[in-house]
């Protein structure tokens, strides 16, 4: 199992997927690896499509009884989420009827559905940023200490000798999102990784080990951000890989 270096992107691979109608806070991109699938998005049925992109809080469900899907969830206020928001016109969704439409939208090579190339194409759309050394230091700290449940804004401020408000402003300026969301996504990605890679481990232990106060808090954020609780990941063998 591999993980993208950008914590604001969570990518999963699913096989024989059928999910109940739901919604969530993240932008979501769903792409077929092989065969077309059906999906109902905001009350409209789309048949034999190859993928879609939806805004946050759009109700939807998918039926892909054959083949595999890649599901990408993206923090809406990250630089990538903000770039995606600019691609919408009036609708809350963009549907891809063929692999070529997918390639045209993401700017990838013809018939290439490689998820890493699509993520690279998304990141390539972003303006180059000369990150402040203090932001880099905070990111490195989160990578090493995300599992500590007592991290506060003051914790970060003390590391780089800025006030919490000044640091929050600088972080948002450079990443598009808040420092608290960055920490949350880092914890959620690791919790999902552990849930899928070690199914004998209890969800309560995973919650504690990834910085959440308890399992109810992990459940809350998982459902809010991705539309499903960790239990659904643990017991649904169709969700087969986290990138």
User: Is residue 242 domain-resident?
Assistant: no
Same domain assignment for residues 188 and 160 = yes
CA–CA gap between residue 227 and residue 30 (Å, rounded):
14
Q: Which of 66, 90, 124 is the last residue of a domain?
A: 124
Structure tokens, 82: 């903000």
Write the CATH number for 217: 1.10.10.60
Query: For 30, how many CA atoms within 13 A lie in the half-sphere containing its CB?
Result: 30
User: Is residue 198 domain-resident?
Assistant: yes
The structure's pTM equals 0.89
Same domain assignment for residues 86 and 165 = no
Alpha helices in 108-163 (DSSP H): 115-124, 133-145, 153-160
Domain that holds residue 76: 9-124
Same domain assignment for residues 142 and 67 = no
* Tens place of pLDDT per residue across the chain (243 aa): 333 467 899 988 887 666 678 889 999 999 988 889 999 999 999 999 999 999 999 999 888 777 888 999 999 999 999 999 999 988 899 999 999 999 999 999 876 778 888 988 998 888 888 889 999 999 999 999 999 999 999 999 999 999 999 999 999 999 889 999 999 999 999 999 898 888 889 999 999 999 999 999 999 999 999 888 888 777 765 666 767
Q: Which of 97, 124, 151 is the last residue of a domain?
A: 124
Same domain assignment for residues 117 and 162 = no
CA–CA gap between residue 163 and residue 153 (Å, rounded):
9
Q: How do the residues of the chain divide into helix, strand and coil, expressed in percent and rounded to 5?
A: 40, 25, 35
Same domain assignment for residues 143 and 196 = yes
Q: Which residue has the tokens 């914890």?
A: 187
Whether 118 contacts 80, CB under 8 Å: no
């Amino acid at each position: 199992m591999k993980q993208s270096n950008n914590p604001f992107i969570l990518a999963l691979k699913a096989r024989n997927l059928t999910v109940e109608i739901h919604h969530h806070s993240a932008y979501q991109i769903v792409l077929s690896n092989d065969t077309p699938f059906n999906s109902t998005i905001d009350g409209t049925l789309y048949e034999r499509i190859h993928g879609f992109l939806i805004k946050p809080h759009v109700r939807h469900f998918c039926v892909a009884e054959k083949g595999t899907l890649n599901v990408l969830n993206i923090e809406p206020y990250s630089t990538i989420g903000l770039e995606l928001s600019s691609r919408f016109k009036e609708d809350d969704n963009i549907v891809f009827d063929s692999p070529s439409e997918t390639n045209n939208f993401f700017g990838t090579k013809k018939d290439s559905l490689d998820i890493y190339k699509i993520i690279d194409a998304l990141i390539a759309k972003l303006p180059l940023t000369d990150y402040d050394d203090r932001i880099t230091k905070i990111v490195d700290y989160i990578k090493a200490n995300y599992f500590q449940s007592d991290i506060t804004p003051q914790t970060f401020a003390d590391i780089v000798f800025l006030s919490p408000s000044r640091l929050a402003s600088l972080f948002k300026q450079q990443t598009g999102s808040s420092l608290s969301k960055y920490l949350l996504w880092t914890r959620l990605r690791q919790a999902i990784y552990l849930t899928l890679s070690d199914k004998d481990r209890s969800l309560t232990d995973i919650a504690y080990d990834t910085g959440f106060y308890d399992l109810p808090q992990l459940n809350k954020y998982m459902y809010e951000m991705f539309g499903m609780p960790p239990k659904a990941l643990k017991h649904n063998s169709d969700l087969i890989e986290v990138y």
